[in-house]
Amino acid sequence: MRRSLVSIACLAGLFAGAAFAAPGVDVDPLTHQPLVQRVVRGSDGRPLATAIQRETVYYSGKQAPGTIIISTSERRLYYVLPDGKAVKYGVGVGRPGFEWAGVKTISMKREWPDWTPPSEMLKRRPDLPRHMKGGIQNPLGARAMYLGSSLYRIHGSNEPETIGQAVSSGCIRMTNDDVVDLYDRVRVGTRVVVQP
């Protein structure tokens, strides 16, 4: 899938210390700054979805470099770097009733993983296939990082429009570009802290 970068960074003005973005531009709830976004395009060049731009940010928390921190309320994943920085990614998280928090470790990594929906999901969605080979149509996308012995994963997605939304059954979704970037940075045993 081809991607082109679209920078949406114009401020409409400042009022009482808060920055306002141009109409239709999402604003980061913590910084009140416009989100930098990129357009995901299909093979014909038409826009399919707008994804949140990956960026390097300052980090002053207590987690060690190499840790993944997921803020489900913010719908962001942070990979902690040395020297007080982190890579910040947009993610999709669990929909209402499927939220969770805790500490896990990456127990396994897979490229273009196969997908076998768990029995709990099949009860809710009997229309789903019982097994799907890895590939571009697979809901796990380009990479998957399995979280301990749980049913949860950090994985890519064949639905990039869901990034930044609460729509999953508890897994953490990323664009395929972002999940490949994170996958290449982490190893089995990486600590993952999921916060509400």
- Predicted local confidence at residue 171, as pLDDT: 95
How many whole angstroms from its chain centre is CA 84? 21
Residue 67 has pLDDT above 90, yes or no: yes
Tell me the catalytic residues: 155, 171
Report the chain's mean pLDDT, rounded to a whole number. Answer: 80
Place of tokens 């093979």: 43
Strands 37-41, 68-71: pairing is unpaired
User: Could you tell me what percent of the chain has a pLDDT over 70?
Assistant: 74
Provide the whole-model pTM. 0.74
Sorting pLDDT into bands at 50, 70 and 90, what band is 41? low
pLDDT tens-digit series, residues 73-118 = 999 999 999 999 999 999 999 999 999 999 999 999 999 999 888 8
Residue 155 has pLDDT above 60, yes or no: yes
Q: Which residue has the higher pLDDT, 123 or 86?
A: 86
Residue 122 has pLDDT above 50, yes or no: yes
- Predicted local confidence at residue 24, as pLDDT: 40
Dihedral sign, CA of 43, 44, 45, 46?
negative
Tally: H helices and E strands in the chain: 2, 16
- In contact, 142 and 181? CB cutoff 8 Å: no
Residue 31 has pLDDT above 70, yes or no: no
Domains along the sequence of the chain with CATH: 3-51 (no CATH), 55-195 (2.40.440.10)
Q: Which residue has the higher pLDDT, 126 or 90?
A: 90
